[in-house]
Chain A
């Protein structure tokens, strides 16, 4: 039995059907990518899993329990946490306060809270350096680290990420995806939604391709990366330019091997 089982969900915005019978699965400790262009329904998928949108039909099962109609804040408590698109950190709060809110559900268990926080600071030393700073003053990459760190505080068993590389340099984007890959290796399942197909496929175990609210293709990440249709739709043109840029970035990377600030 998979950790997450999404079965034939239909989600509407008014009369517009954003998801038309979407089904996906994520096993424990697995990293799964969902690829798709703008408007394919990637964000809607994650919002539905997190309880921010309601499926009109179909079911979402997490850890063998039906969470299709569970309130968003309760879903977090079950161990499914989302890093939303655009990071959505609390800009007027300090880094430490943002993390404290990640630990909201365990706010009365000080010791556990401190342990989680130390893990986050170990993963992202940059956040420890800036703990007293207002989150709104962080750079884009640091904000993404904070958004991920905040999600880690909730002690998730499945972490879903909506376009984590959006707005980041290719170098930082790759670093973020590598960190996320490490979560999967440590046993936290990861479901990542990306437009940046090449990088996502490079680190994921499996992937789905989403088009107009439906899964049109699925398989091992390496198979999909080699698939002609995927290459044509998601890995061509612009992606190649990005790839070349990355070649140049790699030169720099040799000089500064740890863009996340240690760790």
Chain B
């Protein structure tokens, strides 16, 4: 039993990261109907920016919390700029053209970000500093590391923040309105282009947070980590019903758990088979996802 709980704790931690990235897929899909394949790679870039600040610029010598906060902040700013840049130069000109054209462009942006990171940071693995201790507390044979509890809590806070923003602020309401009808939103005086840009910034902020936490938690990153991460997060978003914010959160946690149980009880080699098996099953049986009833409405 304690083993099961241990796998659950591990799965929830990874799942929280997937959920943060999945939210990025879901927000952007909700607003412009684009599956932004570059989003996983944006998370990777976010991770590298954090690494740059902590290691290359040497901020890891500062007090831990200050160092991490600065790294996360720098990462959020840079990924936001990159994401809005991608929006303006790559996606915006195609917004009213075919969905396929913009989808292929997103794939292109994914490859672009990977290769840019390869060029700047090299092909090797980079080590994140061990800032958050991997020691922890034992409760009935289950080890919960400080890193796990801290990162899980931060993730939950970010998710709650995003949810409240979308649910309770007028700007968030405008964002949900865009999921329904862009022209009607314009007729309310909503600057649609600006709201889309804000959505891209929100997605980037969550991706940067996830990227830095992933670096600190797994302590190793490379330019290719965004690919699988992105696919898993995308699967999470589809599982929860893409376009649906609580759905992406739940989907991320479920995928994290599934992966952890699979790695624990079967073998780590099988976990991707399971995850993508889930994706295919959901797409066949319930394409609207777990929170299906409101997905038609996208967000």
Contact = CB atoms under 8 A, between A and B. Distances in A.
A59 interface: no
Contacts of B183: 52, 72, 84, 88
Interface stretch (A99-107, A214-222, A248-256): A99-107
Nearest to A135: B180
A101 B186 contact: no
B173 A91 contact: no
Given A88-B181, A90-B184, A77 B173 contact: no
B176 A92 contact: yes
Interface in A73-114: 73-74, 76-77, 81-82, 84, 88-93, 97, 100-105, 107
Interface in A7-51: 50-51
Nearest to B180: A90
Of B174, B179, B187, chain A has the most CB atoms within 10 Å of the CB of B187
A174 interface: no
B188 A154 contact: yes
A82 B181 CA distance: 14
A206 interface: no
Contact of A104 (B170, B176, B294, B297): B170
A74 B299 CA distance: 26
A116 interface: no
A73 B186 contact: yes
State the main secondary structure of chain B at its contact with A.
helix
B299 A154 contact: no
Contacts, number: 76
A150 interface: yes
B185 interface: yes
Contact of B192 (A73, A82, A92, A136): A73
B134 interface: no
B98 to A, nearest CB: 16
B190 interface: yes
Contacts of A105: 189
Contacts of B190: 73, 101, 104
Contact of A88 (B173, B179, B184, B189): B184
B187 A100 contact: no
Contacts of B184: 84, 88-90
Of B180, B192, B294, B297, chain A has the most CB atoms within 10 Å of the CB of B180
A154 B190 CA distance: 11
A151 B298 CA distance: 24
B198 to A, nearest CB: 13
Contacts of B171: 107
Contacts of B297: 91-92, 136
A93 B177 contact: yes
A54 B187 CA distance: 15
Contacts of B181: 88, 90
A73 to B, nearest CB: 5
Given A91-B180, A93-B180, A76 B187 contact: yes
B2 interface: no
A72 B186 contact: yes
B191 interface: yes
A237 to B, nearest CB: 33
Interface string B45-59: 000000000000000
B292 to A, nearest CB: 14
A136 B297 CA distance: 10
Given A101-B173, A104-B170, A104-B174, A92 B187 contact: no
A81 B187 contact: yes
Nearest to B176: A93
Nearest to A91: B180
A221 to B, nearest CB: 26
Contacts of B173: 93, 97, 100-101
A101 B185 contact: yes
A107 B174 CA distance: 11
A101 B299 contact: no
11 contacts: A71-B191, A73-B186, A73-B188, A81-B187, A89-B184, A90-B181, A92-B176, A92-B179, A92-B294, A92-B298, A102-B188
**Which 9 pairs from chain A and chain B are nearest by CB?**
A76-B189, A92-B297, A72-B186, A88-B184, A107-B170, A105-B189, A90-B177, A90-B180, A73-B191
Interface of A: 50-52, 71-74, 76-77, 81-82, 84, 88-93, 97, 100-105, 107, 136, 150-151, 154
